[in-house]
Each structure stands twice: as structure tokens, then as C-alpha cells.
Amino acid sequence: MKNEYDAVVIGSGHAGCESALALARMNNKTLLTTLNLDSIAFLACNPSIGGTAKGQLASEVDALGGEMGINSDKNILQLRMLNTGKGVAVQSLRAQVDKHSYHSSMKTTLEKQNNLDIRQTEIVEILTKEDKIVGVKDAFGEVILCKAVVVCTGVYLESRVIIGDFSRNQGPNGFINSHGLSSSLEKLGFEILRFKTGTPARVLNSSIDYSHFEEQKGDDGIQTFSFLTKKQPKNIFKCYLGYTNKITAQIIRENISKAPLFSGFIKGVGPRYCPSIEDKIVRFADKERHQIFLEPEDRIGSEIYVQGFSSSMPVDVQEKMYKSVKGFENVQILRNAYAIEYDCINSLELLPTLESKRISGLFFAGQVNGTSGYEEAAAQGIIAGINASNKLQNKQPLILRRDQAYIGVLIDDLVTKGTNEPYRMMTSRAEYRLLLRQDNADIRLTEIGHNVGLVTKNRYNIFLKKIKQIESAKIQLVTPLPSKDVKDFLKEKNENFSKIICNAKECLKRNSVSIFDIKNRFNIFKDLPNEVLKYVETEVKYEGYLKKQNIMISQMKKNEDIKLDQNFDYKQIKGLRIEAMQKLIKFKPLSLGQASRISGVSPADISVLTIYLSLSSKKGKK
């Protein structure tokens, strides 16, 4: 066996796949290790990609040159744009995908990738010398030499599946778990946290009475996750919306003492924003019902995922709970719901590059950093892979800012604020979400992906063509139009006419006017694709808000540009509160901007630090 590589990626979930592909595509000899080849990119929880803010993450991974978006589009069963009744800032793609073909097509992509080997083995120890990575050791005692390691172990570290008072040391979906690596990390000085997540039952499609559920159709003619996808996926499956009821709640309350979440049998901290059904019943006691969604797991459609109904109740209680739902009277449970506990690290121990502050060449990505979700994992995976490659090749690291990408928000939150529960990306976490839209991920990030060497020539040419089309549309927007035609057009739209409205851009600022109305009426924007026109329309209609956000970003960048010495002695600053001083010493922020986002460091502390730095700078100039 070949036992020397540039980099080793531990774990083959969504973080591991993106990290390994990034490293290999950036010309590093890479080994991807996995506990089981059948678990590569496996959708162990929900059979979907995307969701609120998560759709943006998937498209951002794609724009940087990653694989999640391409692989998702290949395997779509249904595609929807969420929150279409709200503003564009919170609209996100969500797709039901075939979980089995998603796995197999990603596995094939990995197998065909140059510079990448895959090996089914368990890594139990990370080897270092003088706080630098030198290799890893597997359970067979084999030593694999390398200069960089990316840990992407997901929920497999010392994981335990729990159903009622039953528990078993295993990973999700019956896969084996990882033993030993947690101890190795602990010996290296990492703080180990214990988190918990869960999944609902899978039920037999033919045992459901769908007449009691509301049909949820997909959306046709909308964008996809990947900006390379040209053929619109077909919505070949329907999803359904239903509700629990008073009887469901009563069954849960009567058996709450059997719930591992409340009996103390579960020790890990669960996700606040994706609670189990028993947690919902306790926390929201005033609600008479809770939403559940029926979603197909694959093209065969025999197994249905019951989103919103995760549980760790005993199997007999689960049976009663599920059968209490209208339409589930004769439901057949194929796989029981369960909770899973696992080890993860404290993400505050990482740099914004996702490299350990302590061990050079050791990177972490995905749920091992305390996050929840495939998209969050993939986003971290591609950044960790890029930065591991940059370190190996003595290049500058890639750190995305909060105004550049949801990925920037995600990683900044993790390494600056940390998390005491499974972290989930949401649009509300992004202060510049109007700029970080689903439709413009390629505009924001493709150039960056090209600069680091991940974006292919073909993808980059497609991007350049789109930029030219956008410029063409903008020119046509301000081209004068006949005044009478504009007046008649606005009258038809019940909009007031003004002499200053002499071009398409001014017309487009009216609420009832779309860019497609203008295209059809004035015969402009010929041969420009809909995605370009929609992008330009958004930029025009939200122009004022975008300007305000850009002003805020300019102010924020001033603090980001003020770099802080990693060995700076904060004790010498008079007026700095003790808590702030302790936090700054512990976290060693890279910039004044990052320092301002540390929990426990107040605006007053930042003012004191700013004044001190300013005075020091003036003294230095003298």
C-alpha cells in the first residue's frame, strides 16, 4: 500500500468529499479514508439538499468549484424555491434528492479524480512532531505519512444511537462508528464536546393514506444549485404536508418519562432549531399540532422520510405516535426514529482558515466542529481543503468575509463566537443577507475559486460570458425609450407617469413592473437568459438597500484591515475590562473586526483598543 501523501482526509461525508476533491484538484497527492465505502456522501438524515440559507451554502460551494451543487442537480426528485412570498434576501433553494444515487454518483466522482486515493480504514491516531502534522495511524497499525490532515468525522466519533432505553455504539444508519480518534485529539489538547442530533422514522409509501395530506409540488423554471447545470431537472415526485394532533401530544405526554431526552439517558446537547417531536410538545405546550412533511428517499419511492417527526422514544411509543396522525392509521414503520450522540471539538480552537491554532497542518471541517447539516459541512470542507492545499504550497490562505458569503458568516461564527449546541445556518445570522443571495453566488465567488485554482477553464468562461451579458443588460436598462410608449406602458400597469422615466431602469423601479414586462413590450434584452434578467431586476429594485449595506461593509472593512499581533500583550492596555482582556488573550483575534465579534468584548472595549492602537501607531511614526 502507498503510505505517503501530501494530505489525508479523515471521513467521507459531505465535508470530507469536498475537502478531498479540493486538495486533489489543487495538485496534492491526497488520501480519503472512510470507515465504510458505502457511507461516502451518504444522506444519513434527511434526503434533501438546501433549505433556508443552506441553499445559498450549496451554491457557494458550487461557485468555488465544489461538487455538492453538481451532484445534487444530477439526482433531484423535486426542486423548490422557499420563501417566494418574502424578499429575495431570504429565498433559498431546497431539493429532494435520490439518496442512493447521490451517494453512488459522488463515489464515482471521487474514484475518477486524479491525485486522489480512497481507502476503507479507521484512523485512530493523529501523529505530530513539534506541534506539526507528520502522519496518521489506522486501526490496523499502519502509519500513513503526510504533511496535512483534515478531520471530517461527522457524527461518527464515539457515537451512540439511542432509542428509548436501548443504546448501541454505532454510527447513523447502522454504520460502524469511530473509536480512538477522540482520545487522540484529547491527548493533543483539544476540548471534546458531546452533541446530539436525531432523525425521524422511515415509513412504507403504500401504507400511507395521502388523502389526509396536502400536496406540495415543485417549482418549474427556477435556477438550480450549480451554475453549470443547463438542463432543468424535472419535478418527478410530490411531497406532502400533514400535522400531528392532540392525540399525538397526549401519547407523548403520557410517556414523557420514557423519553431519553428528559430521563437523562441522553447526555449530548441537541439542536435548538431542529428539535425532536417530544421536545416540541414540551417546549410549545400551547400548540395543538405540529407540521410534518412526507418526502421520498429515492426514485423507487418505497421509503418515505417523515420530516418534523424525529424522536428517540421507545419503539412501541413511536408506533402509537405515528399511527395517531391522520393518514397514518395503517402506517408501517420500516426504520425507527433515533437520536445519536457524538464527540466534536470546540471550534474556538480553530483559526479562520479552519486550521488548529495549536497543531500546524491540522484542519477540521463539518459536524466535528459542532455544526449541523450537509451544506454547512460541505462549505467547511471546501474551505479546509483549499487552505490545507495553500499551506502545503506556501500560498496565502483563503478567508471569506461575512459580506462575501454565507460560508464567511458560518466560519466566522464558529471560530469567533463558538457554539454550545449544533450550529445551523440561517439567513438571520447574516447581516448582509441582501448581498448574499441565492442568485448571485457565482458573481460573488467564481473569481475567487478561479484564483485559488479550483474553478475549471470551462466554468470560468461561462462565468465571464454571464458577466458580459449582465453588462449588456445594464446598458440597455439606461438606453432612452420613446416617452409616449413609456407613458402608455405605465398606464397599463396602473403606474403614474413622470417625464424623468425615460428608460427601462426607471420603469423597473415601479412595484408592478417586471423586467420581463419591459422585455416583451419594448423588444429589448434580446438573447439574454432569464437568470441574467432576474439578477439585473433584483439589483435595480433593491438598489437603495444595497447601497446602504455597501456603506456598512465599507465601515466594517476598516476594522477588518486593522491587523492584531498574535503575541500582543493585552494586559498593558489600561481601561480594558478584565473579561475582555482575558477573552482577547485566549482567542488571539487576527483583526480588530474579529475582536469586536468575540462574546464578552464590548463596543467600549473596542474603543479602548482602537485608541491604544492609534496612539501606538503615532508613536511608532515619530
pLDDT in tens, 233-279: 999 999 999 999 999 999 999 999 999 989 999 999 988 878 899 99
CATH 1.10.10.1800 domain extents, the chain: 457-549
In total, the chain counts a number of residues equal to 622
Q: How confident is the model at residue 621 (pLDDT cuts 50, 70, 90)?
A: low
CATH of domain 562-621: 1.10.150.570
3-state secondary structure 52-84: CCHHHHHHHHHHCCCCHHHHHHHCEEEEEEECC
Mean pLDDT (the chain) is 94
| Nearest residue to 539 via CA among 88, 42, 90 | 88
pLDDT attached to residue 184:
98
Burial of 468 from C-beta contacts in 10 A (0-12 / 13-18 / 19+): exposed
* For range 414-432, the mean pLDDT: 94
| Nearest residue to 160 via CA among 11, 340, 310 | 340
> For residue 622, is pLDDT > 80?
no
Topology given in CATH for the domain delimited by 202-339: Elongation Factor Tu (Ef-tu); domain 3 (2.40.30)
Helices vs strands, H then E, count in the chain = 21, 21
Percent of the chain with pLDDT over 90: 83
Percent of the chain with pLDDT over 70: 99
Question: Three-class SS of residue 269?
Answer: strand
- Which residues does residue 295 pair with via DSSP β-bridges, in sequence order? 305
Say if strands 116-120 and 30-34 run parallel, antiparallel, or are unpaired.
parallel
Element (H, E) at 202: strand 202-204
What is each CA distance from 146 to 130, 205, 516, 545, in whole angstroms? 15, 48, 55, 49
Q: CB 525: neighbour CB atoms within 10 A?
A: 22
> C-alpha grid cell for residue 282?
414540551
Tell me if 22 sits within 8 A of 14, measured CB to CB: no
* For range 70-83, the mean pLDDT: 97
Tell me if 76 sits within 8 A of 222, measured CB to CB: no
| Nearest residue to 109 via CA among 190, 196, 14 | 14
* For range 486-503, the mean pLDDT: 85
Tell me if 441 sits within 8 A of 388, measured CB to CB: no
Q: How confident is the model at residue 444 (pLDDT cuts 50, 70, 90)?
A: very high
For the segment 320-354, what is each residue's pLDDT rounded down to a tens digit?
999 999 999 999 999 999 999 999 999 999 999 99
d(CA 259, CA 370): 24
Tell me if 284 sits within 8 A of 319, measured CB to CB: no
Tell me if 378 sits within 8 A of 61, measured CB to CB: yes
Spatial CB neighbours of 102, under 8 Å, sequence gap ≥ 6: 41, 43, 71, 72, 74, 75
* For range 52-78, the mean pLDDT: 98
> Edge-to-edge, what's the strand order for the sheet holding 92-97?
48-50, 92-97, 76-82
| Nearest residue to 75 via CA among 273, 293, 229 | 229
> For residue 542, is pLDDT > 70?
yes
* For range 96-101, the mean pLDDT: 97
CATH 1.10.150.570 domain extents, the chain: 562-621
The owner of cell 456522501 is 41
CATH of domain 457-549: 1.10.10.1800
d(CA 169, CA 158): 7
* For range 267-294, the mean pLDDT: 92
> For residue 367, is pLDDT > 50?
yes
Q: CB 548: neighbour CB atoms within 10 A?
A: 11
Spatial CB neighbours of 492, under 8 Å, sequence gap ≥ 6: none
d(CA 601, CA 605): 6
> C-alpha grid cell for residue 249?
401530544
| Nearest residue to 384 via CA among 72, 152, 111 | 152
d(CA 309, CA 125): 37
d(CA 309, CA 170): 22
pLDDT attached to residue 574:
85
Buried b (16+ CB within 10 A) or exposed e, 15-45: bbbbbbbbbbbbebbbbbbbbbeebbbbbbb
- Which residues does residue 137 pair with via DSSP β-bridges, in sequence order? 125, 143
CATH 2.40.30.260 domain extents, the chain: 202-339
* 27 or 567, which is more confident: 27
Q: How confident is the model at residue 416 (pLDDT cuts 50, 70, 90)?
A: very high
For the segment 144-194, what is each residue's pLDDT rounded down to a tens digit?
999 999 999 999 999 999 999 999 999 999 999 999 999 999 999 999 999
* For range 360-386, the mean pLDDT: 98
> C-alpha grid cell for residue 395?
500560498
pLDDT attached to residue 1:
63
- Which residues does residue 127 pair with via DSSP β-bridges, in sequence order? 135
pLDDT attached to residue 620:
61
pLDDT attached to residue 515:
96
> For residue 71, is pLDDT > 70?
yes
